[in-house]
Amino acid sequence: MLKLRLIPVLTYNGFALVKTKSFGKNPRMVGNPIQAARVFNSRKVDELVFTDIFATRQSRKLNLNVVEKVINECFMPVSIGGNVSNLEDINDLLKIGADKVVINSNAFHDSFINKAADMFGESTIILSVDILIESKKKFILLSGKKYPLENYIDKIKNYNYGELFLTSVNNEGTQQGFDIDLFNFFYESVDKPIIFNGGAGNLNHFYDLFSKTKIEAVASSSIFYFTQYNPDDIKKEIKKIRNNVRL
């Protein structure tokens, strides 16, 4: 039976791991990416995601030296993102051992994501979308600017890629729980495996999400830095309602 996945996310600012709140300014420093990767590897997590969340806005490229050290700590799959804008970038990441590459804003430039999937195989490519809700309307954030989601949803449905990494901007970093309606909206709209990210602060939040949706993969960050819970605690909680947990 295919197991559901719990995926820690490491967000990097070019120097250190940082944690934002609803993508706000002044993120908190939360540590060193290589040490964090080592800890998550020793905890046998299902997968790891590492993204440089400021690379696109600051027109920087990923620091491949750091990325390689992060990957070298991991004997589970690692997905890497941060201003991935051309095929060369993807090739560079795969060469140093990335399993999957996360593409966010750049996915929509000339349908770059389709070219990436053609070249490296759909399952290597993760489309990451950041969704902001204001006055009940959904917006997608691209390079820090917001656009109505309705102009992009067909692309998200039809592009070629392996998985959708969906972040709720409103809930991200708040530790106030998941936006279950947002997940369900995307689950109905998009026919790909979805990794849902943003909002977890305690075990109840996971119980809620897994009992009210058909979710198979969840990503989290703050809960690992700011609470006593580790990945196994969360999985044991999920195991109360779902059988397919890898412990």
Partner 1 sequence: MKNILILDYGMGNIASVKKAIKKLGYHSIVSDHISLNENYDCIILPGVGSFKTAMQNIKKNKTDCILKELVVKRNQKILGICLGMQLLAEYGDEPVLSEGLGLINGHVKKMTLKPNRLPHVGWNNVVVNNSKFNSFHNKDFYFIHSYSFVVEDKLDVMMSVHVDDKEFTAAVNRNNIYGTQFHPEKSQDFGLDLLKNIIDAKT
Residue ranges that bind partner 1, judged by CB under 8 A: 1-5, 44, 46, 71-72, 75-77, 94-100, 119-124, 162-163, 191-193, 214, 216-217, 246
Closest distance of CB 229 from partner 1, Å:
21
Closest distance of CB 246 from partner 1, Å:
5
Contacts (Cβ under 8 Å, ≥6 apart) of 204: 177
Closest distance of CB 68 from partner 1, Å:
8
Q: By C-beta, is 30 or 103 nearer to partner 1?
A: 103
Closest distance of CB 162 from partner 1, Å:
5
| Straight-line distance from the first to the last Cα atom of the chain, in angstroms, rounded to the nearest whole number | 14
CA nearest 78: which of 62, 61, 96? 96
CA nearest 123: which of 165, 77, 162? 162
Largest CA distance in the chain: 45
CA nearest 238: which of 181, 200, 189? 200
Q: By C-beta, is 3 or 146 nearer to partner 1?
A: 3
Q: By C-beta, is 162 or 198 nearer to partner 1?
A: 162
Closest distance of CB 93 from partner 1, Å:
10
* Cα 38 from Cα 61, distance rounded (Å): 24
Q: By C-beta, is 99 or 176 nearer to partner 1?
A: 99
Q: By C-beta, is 41 or 176 nearer to partner 1?
A: 41
Give the count of beta carbons closer than 10 Å to the beta carbon of residue 109: 12
Contact by Cβ (8 Å): 234, 223: yes
Contact by Cβ (8 Å): 33, 17: yes
